[in-house]
C-alpha cells in the first residue's frame, strides 16, 4: 500500500494526502471518474464504477493553488512559447504581426478585425487545413466587412457550404451587420472588452472574443479553445472536469490562461502560440514531447519522466489518478504516449441517435438537367438546400420503412438508387435514395410547395453553387452513380 501510494504521488503531482488516506482518495477518484483521461476512456468506463458525479471533480483536499502558476514559471513559459512561436509557427494567411491597438489607420484596423472574426469563426470546430481554401475564397467574394454585411443570406450560405455548422455563417453575417451599423459606419472605436463582444456580437463566445481582442486589438485577454485546454491541462496536470464552462477544470484553465497573457507584450502571439503548440506538438494522441518548447515546465511530462525512471522496478498496477493502468502493458519504446495523453479529462460521449430518411431526387428534363431542392428553415442543415426528405423515426421498424418506401415509389413512380450513411455529431442517418421523373411527380411537387415555399429547380451543373451539405452531395453522387452504396445495414445492435 505504501508503495502504491508512493507511485500515486509520483505520478499525480496534485496528490498530497498521506498514504493512509490513499484508499479513500482512490475510491473517491473512481466515483467522480465520469470524466476520465482521454486515452483510457473506454477501459475506465468498462472496468470501473459508473456512479454519478456527486461533487466537484476537483478532488477534495486538492487546493487549486497546487496548479497555480508561480510568477517565475509564468515568465519562463511566456519566453519559451513566444520564441518558439516566432520561429516555428506555420505561416497562415490570417496571421498578422501584432500592432498596438489603434496605431493603424481606421480602415486597416477594421480590416484586421474582419479577417480575425472571419478566420476565428471558421476555425470554430474546424481544422486549419479545412478552413484554408474557404478563407481565401471568402475574402475574394466578400473582401470587406461592408461587402459581407451587404450580401444576401443565400450567397453567404453558399460560400459556407461544406464547412459545416452552418449557423456560424448566419451569425457571422449578423455580426458583420451589427459591427457595421454600430461602429464602422460611424467610424467609432470598436469595444475591446470581451464582455461586449460576447454579449452583443452574434456567434462570438468567450473563445472568439478573446481571439479578436488579443489578436486584432493587441489587448491582453485570455482565450481557451480545445488546444489551449489540452496544453494547459498537461502543463499543470489539471485533473479536473473541463466538460462545461463552469466546471472546475475549465475555470482553472481560464484563470491560468489569464495569468499567462497578463502583462504580455504581444498577447495575440502568446495566445496563438498556445493554440499552435496544441495543434502541432501537444496533440490529443501521441504528443511529440521531445519537440516541445515547454516540456521542462510541464507537470505531465515530469510525470512521464518519473514513470520511466520507476518502471524498471515496478510490477503490477500503477495507480494513475483517477484510473489505473497495468505497467506491463506500457510499450517500453513509446512511453510518451501515456502521461501527457491523460489530459484533459473529458466526459463520456452520448451515443448518436439513429435516423432513417427517404431522400427524393426528382429529376426534370430529358437530359436530367435539373433537380428539385428545398431550403431548410430550421434545425439540421438550416439555411441550406437539400432534396425533399421524409424522416422516419429511428425506432420505426423494417416494416414501417418498407411501407413508406413502397408508398413513395408508387406515387412517384420512383426507382431505388441505394442507401447512404452519414454521421452528424448526434445522429447516424441512413438515407434511402429514390429517383423519380418530374413528370411522374407533378402532384407530389405541388403538395411539397404548399409545405415548403422555398422549393426550386436547380440545374445539375449548379448544384454546388446554391449551398448544399455534404449529406446532400453524397446522396446526389449516389443518384448519379458516382457513389458506392453503403454496404452494411445500419445499427445491427444486439
Partner DNA sequence: ATCCAGGCTA
Partner DNA sequence: TAGCCTGGAT
Residue 407 engages DNA in binding (rule: CB under 7 A): no
Positions marked catalytic: 120
In the set 350, 366, 398, 450, which binds DNA (CB under 7 A)? Answer: 350
> Which residues have CB under 8 Å from 389's CB, separation 6+?
357, 358, 359, 360, 431
Pick the stretch among 104-112, 156-164, 404-412, 442-450 that binds DNA (CB under 7 A): 156-164
CB within 8 Å of 232: residues ≥ 6 apart? 224, 238, 253, 256, 257, 274
At 324, which helix (H) or strand (E)?
A: strand 323-326
Which is nearer to DNA, 24 or 382 (by Cβ)?
382
Candidates 36, 77, 110, 163: give the one binding DNA (CB under 7 A). Answer: 163
CA distances to 41, 130, 327, 329 from 7, rounded to whole Å, are: 21, 43, 12, 17
Distance between CA atoms of 415 and 406, rounded to whole angstroms?
10
> Does residue 377 belong to the site contacting DNA (CB under 7 A)?
no
Q: Smallest gap, in angstroms, from Cβ of residue 135 to DNA?
A: 14
Q: Which CB, 32 or 209, lies closer to DNA?
A: 209
- The total of other beta-carbon atoms located within 10 Å of residue 200's CB is 13
- Judged by CB under 7 A, the stretch of 24-32, 54-62, 158-166, 183-191 that binds DNA is 158-166
Residue 456 CB coordination number (10 Å):
14
Q: Is 20 exposed, middle or buried (0-12, 13-18, 19+ CB in 10 A)?
A: exposed
Subset of residues 86 to 145 that bind DNA, contact rule: CB under 7 A: 123-127, 129-130
Binding mask 215-234 for DNA (x = CB under 7 A): ----------xxx-xx----
Q: How many residues bind DNA (CB under 7 A)?
A: 55
Q: Which of residues 418-477 bind DNA (CB under 7 A)?
A: 422-427, 469-471
Binding residues among 30-49 for DNA as defined by CB under 7 A:
38, 41-42
Counting contacts by CB under 7 A, is residue 286 touching DNA? yes
Cα separation of 423 and 332, whole Å?
37
Distance CA 150, CA 131 (A): 23
- CB nearer to DNA: give 64 or 486: 486
Residues near DNA (CB under 7 A) are 38, 41-42, 123-127, 129-130, 162-167, 171, 198, 202-209, 225-227, 229-230, 244, 278, 284-286, 346, 349-350, 379-382, 422-427, 469-471, 486-488
Amino acid at each position: 500500500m505504501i508503495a502504491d501510494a508512493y507511485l500515486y504521488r509520483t505520478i499525480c503531482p496534485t496528490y498530497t494526502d498521506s498514504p493512509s488516506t490513499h484508499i479513500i482518495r482512490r475510491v473517491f477518484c473512481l466515483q467522480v471518474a465520469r470524466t476520465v483521461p482521454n486515452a483510457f476512456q473506454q477501459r475506465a468506463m468498462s472496468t470501473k464504477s459508473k456512479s454519478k458525479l456527486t461533487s466537484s471533480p476537483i478532488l477534495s483536499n486538492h487546493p487549486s493553488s497546487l496548479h497555480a502558476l508561480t510568477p517565475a514559471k509564468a515568465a519562463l513559459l511566456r519566453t519559451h512559447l513566444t520564441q518558439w512561436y516566432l520561429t516555428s509557427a506555420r505561416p497562415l494567411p490570417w496571421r498578422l504581426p501584432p500592432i498596438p491597438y489603434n496605431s493603424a489607420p481606421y480602415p486597416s484596423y477594421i480590416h484586421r478585425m474582419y479577417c480575425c472574426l472571419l478566420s476565428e469563426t471558421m476555425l470554430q470546430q474546424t481544422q486549419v487545413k479545412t478552413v484554408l481554401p474557404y478563407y481565401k475564397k471568402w475574402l475574394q467574394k466578400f473582401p470587406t466587412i461592408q461587402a459581407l454585411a451587404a450580401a444576401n443570406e443565400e450567397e453567404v450560405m453558399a460560400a459556407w457550404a461544406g464547412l459545416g455548422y452552418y449557423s456560424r455563417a448566419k451569425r457571422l453575417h449578423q455580426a458583420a451587420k451589427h459591427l457595421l451599423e454600430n461602429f464602422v459606419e460611424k467610424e467609432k472605436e470598436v469595444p475591446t472588452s470581451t464582455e461586449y463582444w460576447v454579449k452583443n456580437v452574434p456567434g462570438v463566445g468567450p473563445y472568439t472574443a478573446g481571439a479578436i481582442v488579443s489578436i486584432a486589438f493587441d489587448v491582453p485577454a485570455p482565450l481557451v479553445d480545445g488546444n489551449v485546454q489540452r496544453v494547459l491541462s498537461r502543463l499543470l496536470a489539471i485533473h479536473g472536469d473541463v466538460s462545461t464552462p463552469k466546471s472546475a477544470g475549465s475555470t482553472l484553465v481560464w484563470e491560468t490562461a489569464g495569468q499567462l497573457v497578463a502583462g504580455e507584450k504581444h498577447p495575440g502571439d502568446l495566445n496563438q502560440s498556445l493554440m499552435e503548440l496544441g495543434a502541432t506538438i501537444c496533440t490529443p494522441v501521441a504528443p511529440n514531447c521531445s519537440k516541445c518548447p515547454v516540456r521542462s515546465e510541464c507537470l505531465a511530462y515530469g510525470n512521464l519522466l518519473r514513470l520511466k525512471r520507476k518502471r524498471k522496478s515496478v510490477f503490477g498496477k500503477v495507480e494513475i489518478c483517477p484510473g489505473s493502468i497495468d505497467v506491463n502493458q506500457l510499450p517500453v519504446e513509446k512511453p510518451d504516449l501515456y502521461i501527457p495523453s491523460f489530459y484533459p479529462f473529458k466526459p463520456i460521449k452520448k451515443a448518436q441517435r439513429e435516423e432513417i430518411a427517404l431522400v427524393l431526387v426528382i429529376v426534370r428534363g430529358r437530359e436530367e438537367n435539373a433537380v428539385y431542392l428545398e431550403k431548410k428553415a430550421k434545425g439540421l442543415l438550416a439555411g441550406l438546400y437539400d432534396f425533399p426528405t421524409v424522416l422516419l423515426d429511428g425506432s420505426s421498424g423494417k416494416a414501417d420503412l418498407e411501407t413508406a418506401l413502397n408508398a413513395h415509389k408508387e406515387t412517384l413512380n420512383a426507382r431505388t438508387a441505394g442507401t447512404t450513411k452519414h454521421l452528424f455529431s448526434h445522429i447516424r442517418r441512413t438515407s434511402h435514395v429514390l429517383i423519380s421523373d418530374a413528370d411522374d411527380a407533378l402532384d407530389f411537387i405541388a403538395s411539397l410547395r404548399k409545405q415548403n415555399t422555398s422549393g426550386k429547380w436547380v440545374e445539375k451543373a449548379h448544384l454546388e453553387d446554391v449551398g448544399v451539405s455534404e449529406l446532400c452531395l453524397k446522396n446526389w453522387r449516389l443518384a448519379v452513380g458516382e457513389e458506392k452504396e453503403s454496404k452494411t445495414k445500419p445499427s445491427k445492435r444486439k
